[in-house]
Amino acid sequence: MALYQELSPRRGRIEVICGSMFSGKTEELIRRLKRAKIAKQKVEIYKPMIDTRYSEEDVVTHDGGSIASTPIDTSGSLLLMAGEADVVGIDEAQFFDEGLVEVCTQLAREGKRVIVAGLDMDFRGVPFGPMPGLCAVAEDVQKVHAVCVRCGELAYVSHRIVEGDKRVMLGELQEYEPLCRKCYEEVLQDKNTNP
């Protein structure tokens, strides 16, 4: 049996880390990638080119933790660039095109461990980009939670506190706040009552 396992190809898989802003998604992604590096696995990390909040190239957490990455503009680039990797990390997956689901599936078929982190919903509470599809095809989905800044319960959504209807708006605590479902509904009700 041991000989068979040595000769069989690696088994690929998809892991998704999702949740609101300030929930620790990127921290968890970095933790898993660092552990893979310790295990002497070849790790490649990618992020969308548009995410330049803390660094043009590195994946960076809100509290300053970081790991080197390669910025890319489309999901298809992953198939060209991740050829030698054992583990592929992808941050801010919600900003990629819908093709990311098939790309991650293909990488997993090739025997790669694919670890994806991203917002599951936008500021309106609507499923975001390829994240619902990734959650559907993943072997493992971990939803992490921020803490509601108004009541201390588990956060449900990243509420945008600045004006703008554009779906993609990079930001931090000055632009977004994590809210639980109840507090978010109260904010929406207040906006509808006092426009």
Task: Supply the residues annotated as catalytic.
Answer: 92
User: Cα–chain-centroid distance for residue 60?
Assistant: 12
Angle CA(157)–CA(160)–CA(163) in degrees, nearest 5? 155
* Separation of alpha carbons 4 and 175, rounded Å: 54
Closest CA to 114 of 64, 79, 68: 79
What does DSSP say about strands 87-90 and 59-60: parallel, antiparallel, or unpaired? unpaired
Q: What is the DSSP string of 49-111?
A: TT--SS-SSSEE-TTS-EE--EEESSTHHHHHH-TT-SEEEE-SGGGS-TTHHHHHHHHHHTT
Structure tokens at 166: 């554009």
- Asked if residues 176 and 160 have their Cβ atoms less than 8 Å apart, the reply is yes
- Paired with 185 in beta bridges are none
